[in-house]
Structure 1
Amino acid sequence: MSKQTPRRDFLKQSAEAGVVLAAASALGGVHVFAGEQSSKVRLGIIGCGNIMLLHLQGLAERRENVLLEWLCDVDPQQIDAAARAVSGFQSTAIKQTSRYEDVLEDDQVDACIIATPHHWHAPIALRAMQAGKDVYIEKPISHVYDEGPRIIAAANKYGRVVQQGSQMRSSPVTEKAGRLLQEGILGDVKVARAWTAEKRSIEKPVPDSDPPSGVDYDRWLGPAPSRPFNPLRFHGTWRRFRDYANGEIGDDGIHDLDMATWGLGIDTLPRQITARGRRTLQGHYSEYPDNMNVAFEYPDGRLLLYECYPFTEYGLYGFDNGNVFYGTEGYMVFSRRGAFSVFLGKKQVPGPTEGKELRGQRGYAEHMANFLNAVRNRTPTQAPPEVAHRSCALVHLGDIAEQVAGRLDFDPTTERFVDSDEANSLLTKTYRAPFGLPDMA
């Protein structure tokens, strides 16, 4: 990687975010804070499951200058758990609802944190931006490819701040590693590798049943097809089904794909995708392959490789989730677990590492602070929608290639596959009324 590449990408990303923020500064209202770092941000919480509990606990423990206006979830038990997580954080009562529309209709809400299953991300985020809310969207921002450009367009049209929950983008570990890459320690980075190597348990099919008491199951399904309730399609294990999620590559894999695009320094989409997927967990109830390998070739010849190994606890290079950036002068092993190591030259001489003072830092607090300050000051986020889409695109393109042909050509300009109507049909989906995407006209 040349010394200029990371800086060029940073300036490009800043310019992209600047389009959104310039529009936002003209809107006025509750979203313009005149640069006051101390301004209180009023939040609507949409989706109160596991990752949201982590966010809420962090906000409370750090005593962030926010006011929680709403807790929203279709399952009242998850709302109760979220309320317990922030008990004593504020004197003002937090309103509760199963309808995200209640949150968006509240003019007091400045921003929403969205942590629903993937199939609800875009429908809620687009409506939130239309309602004048900034949005922090858990990864991936899109359930299907074509939702990504729509989120970019909405952010630009409505002047909204958007952050994808790619927390490692904000970690001090990433900042230190990025400086080394910018200085050219590895030379030209030609190949990036990403992997998920976490052992998964085998879940056998179970019968359909009634939804848990109090759950608004029709609203949980939302834009997904109507189906009988099944426990394995609900909390936690919904990630295995195409109606709601994106498999391993779109669950943990998106984090490592995102950092692979960062380390490779790419600012475009791939031109060719080669993918294979197999079942290694025999009897496992899932619609996705659990063992997947994908190669993405970019227009300038750089290569990004993704691998998924759900049958191991030993990981690769000592990490269950990670990356390697291969350069002409050496390589860097990088993990979102908060570590990196550099190896240089023919003899792989050890180089810099993250250091004990940074070890294990994963960027959650910094990433949320980056979003809240962007809401206050209309400044760029670390994971704006343009950057998020380039990473999420790999999830969708890899999955489609595995389903259709194993190898597909893609036009980064038109954002369509070359000579494959079948593949192009999978860039979007059918939405169940009335829960589809809003009209952006």
Structure 2
Amino acid sequence: MHRRKFLQSAGLLAAGAAAPTIVPSRVFGAQAPSNRVTLAFIGTGRQCQGLNIPQFMAVPGVQVVAVCDVDSWRVGQAKQLVESTYAKQSPSGAYKGCDTYRDFRAVLARRDVDAVMISTPDHWHVPMAMLALQAGKDVSLEKPITRYIGEGRRLANEVVARKRIFRVDSEFRSLDRMHRAVELVRNGAIGTLKTIRVSSPREEFPQEAAIEAPVPAELDYDMWLGPAPKVPYMQKRVHNPRDLKGRPGWFRSTMYADGMLTNWGAHLVDICQWANGTERTGPVEVQATGRYHDDPVWDVLETFDARFRFANGVEMFYTMDKPRIRFEGDKGWLVVNYDKSADHPEYHEASDPKILSMPIPADGVRFPLRSERVDFIDSVKSRRKTLEDEEIGQRTISICHLAHIGIKRQGALLKWDPARERFTNDEEANRHLEAPAGRTDWGTK
């Protein structure tokens, strides 16, 4: 179907959507207009407006041309954020040129959009990213990028087949404390790596009743559900109306997400993989236990304990505590804390202070250090791989999903073939690699 006919038939044609209003070249510094990357945001909740939009707009050469959300209040706030930012950089003090959409397919139909940043609830990540790739868009995708290992493999393959740029939107590789820890481990500061101990924060479950209620006027709830099962609206499932600060309830529901296991695991396990040199493969066995929260809506894991073994002999233990990673080698240990606290007043701890001051040899293993936003935009321009591309993202989040499957298999020792991405000793476990059949009638009302 031709683009214009598709938009008209879907009721999605927006005035002025054919081309972006061009921001004056002074906004982009010395970068030529030909190097400008037009960017659209799909999903404009607290993560998008608090971090994603401001940080991307600070990257030279980026022009935000559209925002999209099923919540009309949120998308209105996002439009205001974009246009007020550009207005401050304009001699006239005014700017209009950011289009708004309810249906993400209208954004993907725009030929002038180079790339999209997807910041929706987790259950929408893969469906939207796949359609974006098929529409020829480069994709920055919020973590966790997938909910199932099988869909993740299809997503990674689609990126390669379409020759698109893909970036897991995680900032941990851009944090100096994480970067430094990885370079130290990879360059032998603690000898041969033997064990990794990593922990995510604990989930919080505030008291909130599961009460059915009328859908807020600004929310297209059917489209919010999308491929998820049709269930009655309740605020506890979705997000607080007209609120960009509170943590959305969907984070705690297995209909839409997998809790801290994947939410923080996508950050922390990636650093473990990077330090272990296994970022493009996976473990060979997993064993995990856990307990789900007893609530009709908020039913994600409230505790878990997982053990992995890799082909190189390294063991990794993943549990809930405070966000930190401990690397143990045959010559010492090194800890990197996400936060400083009274218990951990420094980002780094080590068995010997000399470990922390070790210089990286001139011929040692070194990694670039740049923000995830700059990394994505630079790759869109240069067509090189990002620092956290589709394969790295698939392998990282797969480890979190392996732990979840291990819990479902009640602590059984599962043998994993990372090349085939299949369990070799448990067919029941293999049935958890794919999502159950979901809705296909979303967006048709």
TM-score bucket of the superposed structures, by smaller chain: 0.7 to 0.9
**Equivalent in 35, 38, 44 of residue 42 of structure 1:** 38
Letter in 1 for 2:316: L
Deviation of residue 238 (structure 1)? 0.4
**Equivalent in 432, 438, 445 of residue 431 of structure 1:** 438
Deviation of residue 197 (structure 1)? 2.9
Q: Select between 300-309 and 393-402 the one with higher mean Cα deviation.
A: 300-309
Q: Select between 415-424 and 141-150 the one with higher mean Cα deviation.
A: 415-424
Report if aligned partners of 1:240, 1:288 keep a CA contact under 8 Å in 2: yes
Report if aligned partners of 1:168, 1:336 keep a CA contact under 8 Å in 2: no
Structure 2 CA distance for partners of 1:283 and 1:178, relative to 1, 3 Å: closer
**Residue of structure 2 in register with 1:131 after alignment:** 135
Describe how 1:285-324 pairs up with structure 2 within 5 A: 286-309=298-321, 320-324=322-326
Q: Select between 65-74 and 333-342 the one with higher mean Cα deviation.
A: 333-342
Describe how 1:371-390 pairs up with structure 2 within 5 A: 371-390=376-395
Whole-angstrom distance in 2 between the partners of 1:215 and 1:284: 23
Whole-angstrom distance in 1 between the partners of 2:105 and 2:369: 27
Deviation of residue 282 (structure 1)? 7.0
1:60-110, Cα deviation, whole Å (9 max, x unpaired): 4x3632111110000011112222332323334111011000110000000
Report if aligned partners of 2:186, 2:276 keep a CA contact under 8 Å in 1: no
Deviation of residue 342 (structure 1)? 4.7
Deviation of residue 376 (structure 1)? 0.8
Whole-angstrom distance in 1 between the partners of 2:336 and 2:442: 40
Describe how 1:157-176 pairs up with structure 2 within 5 A: 157-176=161-180
Whole-angstrom distance in 2 between the partners of 1:129 and 1:288: 30
Whole-angstrom distance in 1 between the partners of 2:47 and 2:196: 28
Q: Select between 427-436 and 380-389 the one with higher mean Cα deviation.
A: 427-436
Matched, 1:272 2:285: yes
1:129-155, Cα deviation, whole Å (9 max, x unpaired): 111100000001112111111111111
Letter in 1 for 2:318: Y
Report if aligned partners of 1:37, 1:377 keep a CA contact under 8 Å in 2: no
Structure 2 CA distance for partners of 1:113 and 1:353, relative to 1, 3 Å: farther
Report if aligned partners of 2:126, 2:155 keep a CA contact under 8 Å in 1: yes
**Residue of structure 1 in register with 2:4 after alignment:** none
**Residue of structure 1 in register with 2:363 after alignment:** none
Deviation of residue 295 (structure 1)? 0.8
Structure 2 CA distance for partners of 1:52 and 1:119, relative to 1, 3 Å: same
Whole-angstrom distance in 2 between the partners of 1:87 and 1:384: 30
Describe how 1:185-204 pairs up with structure 2 within 5 A: 185-198=189-202, 200-204=204-208
Matched, 1:333 2:335: yes
Whole-angstrom distance in 2 between the partners of 1:364 and 1:142: 25
Matched, 1:370 2:383: no
Whole-angstrom distance in 1 between the partners of 2:71 and 2:130: 22
Whole-angstrom distance in 2 between the partners of 1:98 and 1:337: 37
Matched, 1:417 2:423: yes
Describe how 1:83-122 pairs up with structure 2 within 5 A: 83-90=79-86, 91-122=95-126
Deviation of residue 390 (structure 1)? 0.8
Letter in 2 for 1:405: Q
Structure 2 CA distance for partners of 1:144 and 1:364, relative to 1, 3 Å: farther
Whole-angstrom distance in 1 between the partners of 2:271 and 2:319: 14
Describe how 1:7-26 pairs up with structure 2 within 5 A: none
Letter in 2 for 1:239: F
**Residue of structure 1 in register with 2:221 after alignment:** 217
4+ residue stretches of structure 1 with deviation over 6 A?
281-284
Report if aligned partners of 1:171, 1:367 keep a CA contact under 8 Å in 2: no
Q: Select between 198-207 and 422-431 the one with higher mean Cα deviation.
A: 198-207
Deviation of residue 283 (structure 1)? 6.2
Q: Secondary structure at the match of 2:139?
A: strand
Deviation of residue 337 (structure 1)? 4.3
Root-mean-square deviation (CA), in Å? Answer: 2.5
Letter in 1 for 2:320: C
TM-score (norm 2): 0.79
Letter in 2 for 1:59: F
The size of the alignment, in residue pairs, is: 379
Letter in 1 for 2:398: A
**Equivalent in 177, 182, 202 of residue 178 of structure 1:** 182
Matched, 1:352 2:356: yes
Whole-angstrom distance in 2 between the partners of 1:374 and 1:300: 32
Q: Note the residue ranges of structure 1 that are not aligned, 5 or more in a row.
A: 1-35, 310-319, 355-362, 437-441
Whole-angstrom distance in 2 between the partners of 1:152 and 1:37: 31
Deviation of residue 119 (structure 1)? 0.8
Whole-angstrom distance in 2 between the partners of 1:232 and 1:293: 27
Describe how 1:21-32 pairs up with structure 2 within 5 A: none
**Residue of structure 1 in register with 2:55 after alignment:** 58
